[in-house]
């Protein structure tokens, strides 16, 4: 297998942009990623386009990438439209990595774009219903402005708190850290710092989760230009190596955790272990993810939880293992299909040393975990990617 | 790049099955493909799942493969959900071919499944709206039971007829031939022979197209198990070689034709030219495709049309270059996301010499053309695959 490089990255601002279409957002990400890589449109051999909700939000299905990119000059090459719920972006990235590694292509664009916000919030929330087995959709309880996923995360939170001796204040501390990081991220949806008291006092979404512990509805796009060594000759890039990108589906059961399964495969392919990881972007659709995911990634001892990383400050900027230096899904935002690519953007930015006030000093190896959908008792899809300078 | 084999194939019956779910259809295809290849579920490294319409028909988006396959024992591996409108199935197949060729996997399942029929036919027809740019959706004229795609094919028919000197009777003859072939195909949706007069007398869908010249709404699933030479050791298969599978997006313009572009690349990769092709499954969503596509595939001289193949009998069973021996989309049926894989099923069946009364004698090299969606002035996606015994 050949070496794979992330040659360029771009991330539109994340937020609620009722005056911007999916196409507007995708075009901004394409222009940005080409500029960042010093590449022209005709350098690209193949495109993987990720989107999760357009079908349910606007009715645009089936050829989402062709429609979103039709004014960019990129059409005519291979375009594959991929979905894996909230892991759609990492799925596109992983297919791109595979295409480069195999020699099938020398330059591949992986792009995720989402226009999830809608004047009628019920439309936005209904889109999450597409990410579970329709036969398992709970009957609507008429509660406005909430996603069924927050009930899942709330249960995860209660279990993790009991197991780890964590409190609601710990969950709030995750959100506080996340907002603090996002304050230094120009593309973040939320750039205001918050206090533990403010997080705890915000509206309850699903007990014990309050609004500020949950990722918001939002819009945005993120793109990564992948290249082989030969592909790099077509551009003027500051590349970062991609050591591995592994996708696994859930099984419908809680065990084995697809996060753990994918992580083990990703470490093996990358030839590095958890000890090598300098920073992590993990899929914190809600705050409890920072309590549970570190153990599944092997970043803390088995039986240990993320609460230790949190309380010790290890997971903060300046700590031993910063988690979500970008602000994560909670504060940077979570435009579903864009999130997986956006995590890679942060990894590349950090590994290049270009993250400014949120820079993880000396970062050499970084990991992204992107989870998607829900099936029975676990995530429906998980992608783990490891990049290195 | 490594050699790639189609090791197993399966095709459920195509038809309108209001009592069967997408999951039922997918499960039948999985059981069939494993049996045909002599393989167990744990032989599979990776899955590409194609579906086009479930989002609009049932609301199931984002994790369609995980949901459809959750009872099959296949979950836990990589599952990628792909879309490319009517070319979704071939997109899944092509990604599988690439994964095997590259060494990323040794055994890959490509599966397409569609439950398109609906008690309310308007729901089925509305799904086609997802396959065009929403900004180009024509206002509904209130006509029941028709797809906007038939207006596109009708225009294509008028242009081809004028250019080739073809008549409505020629279009009817395509449908007659297609039905004649399908009468020998146990999975075909229509197995009754029809006459030119009956075709011409059937209801006008969009002038000059009558109902029997158009592919029907239908349900079904088709699957292909792909393997490397090493992967074949995990099963007891009668394999056929895959020489190439090329996907190209349209550009929104009529020229260059993505069919011609993809075909040229597919011939180049396969190392064979149009002269080597013994049979073709082409994307006849309506009858005029058999007039126009042969030239784009280089199967007739530039400036020549398919009408010559038709009138001479060359495109019939027993002729020099049988087109759509399966009955094609018109008569075998067109459950959107399944169609691309179903074309490969026919190619493999023919190349194995197992097609019974519709066998193309001595078939050694076969080509499939799967087109999808519409963008501006042309198809949004085209896949060309070439297989050989």
The pLDDT of residue A275:
98
Question: pLDDT for B220-236, tens place per residue?
Answer: 999 999 999 999 999 99
Annotation says A184 is catalytic: no
**Total residue length of chain B:** 389
Domain match, A89 and A106 both: yes
Whether A145 has a pLDDT exceeding 80, the answer reads no
DSSP B149: H
Give the pLDDT confidence score for residue A138 in this predicted structure: 67
- Which 3-state string (H, E, C) describes A307-348? HHHHHHCCCCCCCCCCECCCCHHHHCCCCHHHHHHHHHHHHH
Residues of chain B with pLDDT > 90, as a percent, come to: 87
Domain housing B279 = 141-215+245-388
**B308: buried, middle or exposed (CB in 10 Å: 19+, 13-18, 0-12)?**
middle
Residue A270 has what pLDDT?
98
Q: B341 lies in a domain?
A: yes
Which of A208, A241, A274 is the endpoint of a domain? A241
Which of B125, B284, B282, B124 has the alpha carbon at shortest distance from B212? Answer: B284
Residues of A in contact with B53 (CB under 8 A): 61
pLDDT of B125 = 85
Residues A89 and A211 in one domain: no
Contact B111, B341 (CB under 8 A): yes
Residues B201 and B223 in one domain: no
Instruction: Supply angle C-alpha B328, B331, B332, rounded to 5.
Output: 65
How does pLDDT run across A301-312, given as a tens digit for each residue? 988 889 999 999
Question: Which helix H or strand E contains A225, and what residues bound it?
Answer: strand A219-227
The answer to whether residue B127 sits within a structural domain is no
Interface contacts A/B by beta carbons within 8 Å: 206
User: How many Å apart are CA B294 and CA B303, to the nearest integer?
Assistant: 11
Q: How far is B197 from A113, CA to CA, in rounded Å?
A: 51
ipTM: 0.96
Please report whether residue B258 resides in a domain.
Answer: yes
Q: Mark whether A301 and A370 lie in a shared domain.
A: yes
State pLDDT tens for residues A315-359. Answer: 999 999 999 999 999 999 999 999 999 999 999 999 999 999 999
Chain B residues whose CB is inside 8 A of the A59 CB are 56, 129-130, 134
Evaluate whether residue B259 is within a structural domain.
yes
Residue at a domain's end among A181, A206, A241: A241
Higher pLDDT, A136 or A329: A329
pLDDT computed for residue B135 by the predictor: 82
Q: How far apart are CA B85 and CA A63, in angstroms?
A: 6
Q: Residues in chain A, how many? A: 389
Burial A45-84 (b: 16+ CB within 10 A, else e): bbbbbbbbbbbbbbebbbbbbbbbbbebebbbbbbbbbbb
Task: Say if residue B140's pLDDT is above 70.
Answer: no
> Do A252 and A376 belong together in one domain?
yes
CA distance A180 to A100: 36
A125 assigned to some structural domain: no
Q: What is the pLDDT of residues A207-235, one digit of tens each?
A: 999 999 999 999 999 999 999 999 999 99
Residue A214 is a catalytic residue: no
- CA distance to B84, B139, B142, B319, per residue, from B148 (Å): 17, 10, 11, 34
Do residue A203 and residue A69 come from a single domain? Answer: no
pLDDT tens digit sequence for B252-276: 999 999 999 999 999 999 999 999 9
* Residues B268 and B326 reside in one and the same domain: yes
Q: Report d(CA A93, CA A99) in Å as an integer.
A: 10
Distance of CA A161 to the CA centre of its chain: 24
Runs of H (alpha helix) within B108-217: 121-127, 148-164, 168-182, 196-201
Q: How far apart are the first and last CA of chain A?
A: 19
Is residue A169 assigned to a domain? yes
Residue A65 sits in a domain of what CATH number? 3.40.47.10
Residues B232 and B255 grouped into a single domain? no
C-alpha dihedral (B345, B347, B349, B351), degrees to nearest 10: -150
Among B75, B101, B380, beta carbon nearest to A252 = B75
For residue B85, what is the nearest residue in chain A, using CA coordinates? A62
Query: Catalytic one among B118, B179, B283, B334?
Result: B334
Nearest to A14 by CA among A329, A381, A314, A366: A329
Give how many domains chain B has, as a whole number.
2
Choose among B359, B370, B387, B365: nearest CA to B275.
B365
B236 contacts B352 by C-beta, under 8 angstroms? no
What pLDDT, on a 0 to 100 scale, did the predictor assign at position B97? Answer: 96
Q: Taking chain B, what is the end-to-end CA distance rounded to the nearest angstrom?
A: 19
Q: State the CB neighbour count (10 A cutoff) for residue A156.
A: 17
Of B240, B275, B297, which residue is a domain's last?
Answer: B240
Binary contact (A62, B101; C-beta < 8 A): no
* Whether pLDDT at B142 is above 60: no
Is A124 inside any structural domain?
Answer: no
The per-residue pLDDT for A141 is 55
Does A107 share its domain with A227? yes
Of residues B180, B186, B187, the one with CA closest to residue B322? B180
Q: Are B221 and B120 in contact (CB under 8 A)?
A: no
pLDDT at position A119 over 90: no
Does residue B166 register a pLDDT over 90? Answer: yes
- Chain B nearest-CA distance from A196, in A, is 35
Q: Which chain A positions have a beta carbon within 8 Å of B91's beta carbon?
A: 80-81
Q: Does B251 sit within 8 Å of A65, measured CB to CB?
A: no
Task: Say how far residue B357 (Cα) sits from the centre of its chain.
Answer: 21
Mean pLDDT, residues B47-60? 92
Q: Is B136 a domain residue?
A: no
Asked whether the bond before B256 is cis by omega within 30 degrees of 0, the reply is yes
Tell me the range of A129-133, B101-105, B283-287, B300-304 where mean pLDDT is highest: B283-287
- Cβ distance B250 to A75 less than 8 Å, yes or no, reads yes
Q: What is the mean pLDDT of residues A82-95?
A: 97
Question: What pLDDT, in 10s, does the model give residues A360-383?
Answer: 999 999 999 999 999 999 999 999
Q: Omega of the bond prior to A256 within 30 degrees of 0, cis?
A: yes
Do B71 and B23 contact (CB within 8 A), yes or no? yes
> Which residues 6+ apart lie within 8 Å of A304 measured at CB?
A295
Tell me, yes or no, whether B280 and B226 share the same domain: no
Whether residue A321 sits in one domain with residue A191: yes
A261 & A236 share domain: no
Give the confidence band of A146 by pLDDT, cuts at 50, 70, 90.
Answer: low
Residue A142 has pLDDT above 90, yes or no: no
């Amino acid at each position: 297998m050949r070496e794979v490089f992330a040659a360029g990255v771009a991330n539109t601002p994340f937020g609620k942009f009722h005056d911007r279409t999916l196409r507007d957002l995708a075009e901004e990400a394409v222009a940005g990623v080409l500029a960042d890589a010093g590449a022209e449109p005709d350098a690209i051999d193949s495109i993987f386009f990720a989107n999760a909700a357009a079908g349910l939000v606007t009715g645009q299905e089936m050829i989402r990438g062709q429609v979103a990119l039709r004014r960019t000059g990129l059409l005519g090459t291979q375009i594959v439209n991929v979905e894996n719920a909230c892991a759609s972006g990492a799925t596109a990235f992983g297919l791109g990595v595979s295409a480069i590694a195999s020699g099938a292509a020398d330059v591949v664009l992986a792009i995720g774009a989402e226009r999830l916000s809608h004047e009628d919030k019920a439309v936005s929330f209904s889109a999450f219903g597409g990410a579970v087995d329709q036969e398992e959709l709970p009957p609507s309880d008429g509660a406005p402005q909430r996603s069924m996923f927050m009930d899942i995360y709330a249960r995860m939170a209660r279990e993790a708190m009991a197991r780890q001796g964590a409190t609601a204040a710990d969950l709030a501390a995750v959100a506080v850290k996340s907002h603090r990081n996002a304050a230094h991220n120009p593309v973040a949806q939320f750039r205001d710092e918050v206090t533990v008291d403010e997080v705890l006092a915000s509206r309850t979404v699903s007990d014990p989760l309050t609004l500020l512990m949950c990722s918001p509805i939002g819009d945005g796009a993120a793109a990564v230009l992948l290249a082989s060594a030969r592909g790099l000759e077509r551009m003027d890039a500051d590349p970062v190596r991609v050591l591995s990108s592994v996708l696994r589906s859930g099984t419908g059961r809680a065990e084995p955790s697809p996060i753990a399964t994918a992580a083990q495969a990703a470490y093996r392919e990358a030839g590095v272990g958890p000890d090598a990881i300098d920073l992590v972007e993990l899929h914190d659709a809600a705050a409890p993810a920072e309590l549970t995911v570190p153990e599944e990634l092997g970043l803390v001892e088995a039986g240990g939880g993320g609460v230790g990383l949190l309380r010790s400050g290890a997971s903060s900027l300046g700590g031993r293992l910063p988690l979500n230096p970008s602000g994560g899904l909670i504060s940077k935002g979570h435009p579903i299909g864009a999130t997986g690519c956006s995590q890679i953007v942060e990894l590349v930015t950090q590994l290049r040393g270009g993250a400014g006030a949120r820079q993880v000093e000396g970062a050499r190896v970084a990991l992204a975990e992107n989870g998607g959908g829900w099936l029975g008792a676990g995530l429906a899809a998980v992608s783990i990617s490891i990049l290195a300078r």
